[in-house]
Structure 1
Amino acid sequence: MVIKRNSTKLSLVVGAVCATMLTLAAPAAHAGTAEDDHTATLAALKAFQASAGPGAAIHAGGPGQSWTLSAGTGTINSVRPIRPDEHFRIGSQTKTFTAVVLLQLVDEGKVSLDTPIADYLPGVVTGNGYDGTRITVRHLLQHTGGLAAFNPQVVIDKPVSNPDGTYALAELVRKGLSFAPVSAPGAGFTYSNTNYLILGMLVEKVTGQPVHETVTKRVIEPLGLSRTVFPAPGDRALPTPAVNGYHGLRVGSFYFWTPALTYDPSLFSSAGAMISTLKDVTAFYQALVAGKVVSAAGLAEMQKVREAEPGVSAGLGIHRNELSCGIVAWGHSGGVPGYTSKTLVAENGRHASVVTNALFQVNPPVGQLRELLDTALCEDTAQRS
């Protein structure tokens, strides 16, 4: 995730300077007639990609119509546009899927948003200044429980893995709670993966199934998202076709890339393990905003927001974005090794989903991503036709 609150952003690999170097010429853009029909978005995409990974793509449109633009390449040392049906790791966009399952359980009367997490998971959120009797399910969903920011891959004292290299949710939560609280429950917004790792434990406790199976059965399969996967612990493969992910470095007009490090998906689990495509992840958010995934009451709860940063307010697993043209769009961003992505869907049917195949800690292209999404969602009437 490239916005400030995402705690899954990783430090750049210094050794990337010695990695494969791409041609220093400006990368070409690839599309069909969409290039001519969406010139402003194409320009914004090129500006974003020039500060992002080897490639970038946007899948966007309005009711009943979608188009895709790509710039750069999905594979270094080649000219291969990123396509909307190629798999990539969506990172923290996983959080919206986890939140949807929780709201479904609320609809079914199995979970209450304003019940303390200690009532469901006694003894889990306790010690080091944490009191699970004061932190509710709603607090966790909205990142307002005061939990410290936590990225399980970049902390010096890393979580302990199982003998097979996978990670248990309980161990990840224990490590996340080893960092002291940053505020009292309900007092402020602090984005933390720990919130959604705890919620993953809650899903497993209530359903009696691993969280990846529950999300698959309750969300992925009913929506027919055939190219979306919540991988089981130990399944490190990225399905084909795939966008290749990279670590990298940009210094002026020079840029260097090396393949992203392999990791077990259970390291991010219910906070960021999922895989999807631009088309599939767009379809998911479209169904959610249209009220096809949770009840009307559940969606209303998800869309109760508080300010997270200028122009963006946080609901329950979904963010409200106010665009320059007055449109309000809902979605989430994601960032894990090799990928940065974000999807926004407006109630008027406009939608845009972006991916670039790198993740940056230094100089992340936050402004360029925001401008790209704003441009695509606010295109004038002539461009929408």
Structure 2
Amino acid sequence: MSKRTVTCAVAVMAAAAFTVSIPSVAQAADTHAGTKALLDRALQNAPGAAVFAGNAAGSWVLQSGTGDTQAAKPIQPGEHHRIASQTKTFTAVVTLQLADEGKVALDTPIETSLPGVVDGNGYDGTKITVRQLLQHHSGIPVNNNPRPARNPDGSYTLREVVRDGLSLKPNSAPGTKFEYSNTNFEILGLLIEKVTGRSAGEAITERIIKPLGLQATGYPRGGDRTLPAPYVHGYAGGRVGPIFFWVDNTTNVEPSMFGTAGAIESTMSDVTAFYRALATGKLVSSAGLAEMRKTIPWEGAPAGYDYGLGLVKHTLSCGGDAWGHPGNVVGYATWTAATDDGRYATVVTNTFSAAAGTNGDDLRFEILDAAICGR
């Protein structure tokens, strides 16, 4: 994982449902000039970029470029896009909820709940814990060229995606090295299904999406490559001789390829509400949130970024920490984080990887920091 771009290939519940509301959005005028300058730089690598940010008093939005090259239309907070690896935090939350309920133990070997799944080819499920899967500390390597067997409709089962990931031999002994791998969270998806008796998508929907009232957020069915309208178009850059152009690849992603590691689609306002709810204790117990915030160094990330249990700590330039997760998938690069005192920001660009920042790191890090710190 290079320092230039960190790539992420996308409590006991209260009896009554609860809803997280985002304050009304006010278009930023001449304020947030530093954030806007950084956002404009994102157009070096994408047709469009936007940041949705604010605090307990209200929200604001800044945009550069377009979310649709055929319409010159800035990206809006209510438009759908793929959130990629931000899905991992949803998966982690359900896992911690199950731990709160006494149905999962973080330091128990995965073999206990999923006998025979993580076994062979150098793996021993009796030595890999749930915590290590949540923290990318299992020894399972990144799978940069996934080739799971397809279903007749072109979709993939979660179990087949896991089998494909485990076809690569481990890179290290469990608990000794950080290595970001979708396979960790796809295994956690199987764990959720085994413990709840529901599909992972159903469990995430019933435990998070519906209680929070995230009406624009969904865990898509396998084979459904579309996004609900209105949506941000995703793009890849192309060139023929001296001519550069953007190719719309919005529907090129099969979401079941990533499953509980990266399948969810949402909007800037919805995904912000999710991370704010997590930061304010509405999704897991205080003990569960404390476990999620026990971090280890995130190898390959810029200084100030550490990895917890499906949750990333961003040490802010203005002091304190924000907690969230980035995501990269065909057509989109995202990042959301929220603080305990009510500040938050979501950044979206509509191509796979963000432009490089000042120090050669991912520009999204700088945009997020500037937005939360009020520059």
Q: Name the TM-score, length of structure 1 as normaliser.
A: 0.87
- CA distance change for structure 1 residues 81 and 236 in 2, over 3 Å: closer, same or farther? same
Greater mean deviation of Cα atoms: 236-245 or 258-267: 258-267
Consecutive unaligned residues in structure 1, runs of 5 or more: 10-30, 381-385
- CA distance change for structure 1 residues 7 and 378 in 2, over 3 Å: closer, same or farther? closer
Deviation at 1:289, TM superposition (A): 0.5
For residues 66 and 243 of structure 2, what CA distance do their matches in structure 1 show? 16
> What whole-Å deviation, never above 9, does each CA across 1:317-350 have from its counterpart, x for those lacking one?
1000112111310000011111000001111211
Deviation at 1:256, TM superposition (A): 2.0
Q: Secondary structure at the residue paired with 2:176? A: coil
Deviation at 1:192, TM superposition (A): 0.1
1:218 corresponds to: 207
For residues 28 and 366 of structure 2, what CA distance do their matches in structure 1 show? 18
Q: Secondary structure at the residue paired with 1:189? A: coil
> What whole-Å deviation, never above 9, does each CA across 1:192-215 have from its counterpart, x for those lacking one?
000000000000011111100110
Deviation at 1:233, TM superposition (A): 1.7
2:22 corresponds to: none
Match 1:274 to one of 264, 275, 278:
264
Correspondence 1:145-164 to 2 at 5 A? 145-151=138-144, 154-155=145-146, 158-164=147-153
1:38 corresponds to: 32
Work out whether 1:353 is the aligned partner of 2:342.
no
2:363 corresponds to: 368
1:206 corresponds to: 195
How many residues align? The count is 353
Deviation at 1:235, TM superposition (A): 2.3
- CA distance change for structure 1 residues 361 and 355 in 2, over 3 Å: closer, same or farther? closer
Correspondence 1:1-385 to 2 at 5 A? 4-8=5-9, 34-47=28-41, 49-151=42-144, 154-155=145-146, 158-249=147-238, 255-260=244-249, 261-308=251-298, 309=301, 310-360=303-353, 366-379=361-374
Q: Secondary structure at the residue paired with 2:221? A: coil
Consecutive unaligned residues in structure 2, runs of 5 or more: 11-24
CA contact (8 A) 1:330 1:344 kept: yes
CA contact (8 A) 2:46 2:354 kept: no
For residues 184 and 33 of structure 1, what CA distance do their matches in structure 2 show? 50
CA contact (8 A) 1:2 1:335 kept: no
CA contact (8 A) 2:64 2:74 kept: yes
For residues 41 and 249 of structure 1, what CA distance do their matches in structure 2 show? 28
Deviation at 1:76, TM superposition (A): 0.7
CA contact (8 A) 1:193 1:271 kept: yes
Q: Secondary structure at the residue paired with 1:212? A: helix
For residues 195 and 27 of structure 2, what CA distance do their matches in structure 1 show? 49
2:20 corresponds to: none
Q: Name the TM-score, length of structure 2 as normaliser.
A: 0.89
- CA distance change for structure 1 residues 354 and 343 in 2, over 3 Å: closer, same or farther? same
For residues 43 and 218 of structure 2, what CA distance do their matches in structure 1 show? 30
Taking only the aligned residue pairs, the percentage that are identical comes to 52
> What whole-Å deviation, never above 9, does each CA across 1:278-337 have from its counterpart, x for those lacking one?
000000000000000011111011011011032110000100011211131000001111
Deviation at 1:250, TM superposition (A): 8.3
The one-letter amino acid of 1:6's match is: T
Deviation at 1:237, TM superposition (A): 2.0
Q: Secondary structure at the residue paired with 1:36? A: coil
The one-letter amino acid of 2:190's match is: M
Q: Secondary structure at the residue paired with 1:352? A: strand
For residues 326 and 362 of structure 1, what CA distance do their matches in structure 2 show? 25
- CA distance change for structure 1 residues 362 and 37 in 2, over 3 Å: closer, same or farther? closer
For residues 31 and 354 of structure 2, what CA distance do their matches in structure 1 show? 34
The one-letter amino acid of 1:285's match is: Y
For residues 39 and 194 of structure 2, what CA distance do their matches in structure 1 show? 43
- CA distance change for structure 1 residues 149 and 362 in 2, over 3 Å: closer, same or farther? farther
Moved over 6 A (4+): 361-365
Q: Secondary structure at the residue paired with 1:69? A: strand
CA contact (8 A) 1:148 1:192 kept: yes
> What whole-Å deviation, never above 9, does each CA across 1:158-190 have from its counterpart, x for those lacking one?
111111211011111111011111111000110
For residues 2 and 325 of structure 2, what CA distance do their matches in structure 1 show? 11
The one-letter amino acid of 1:327's match is: G
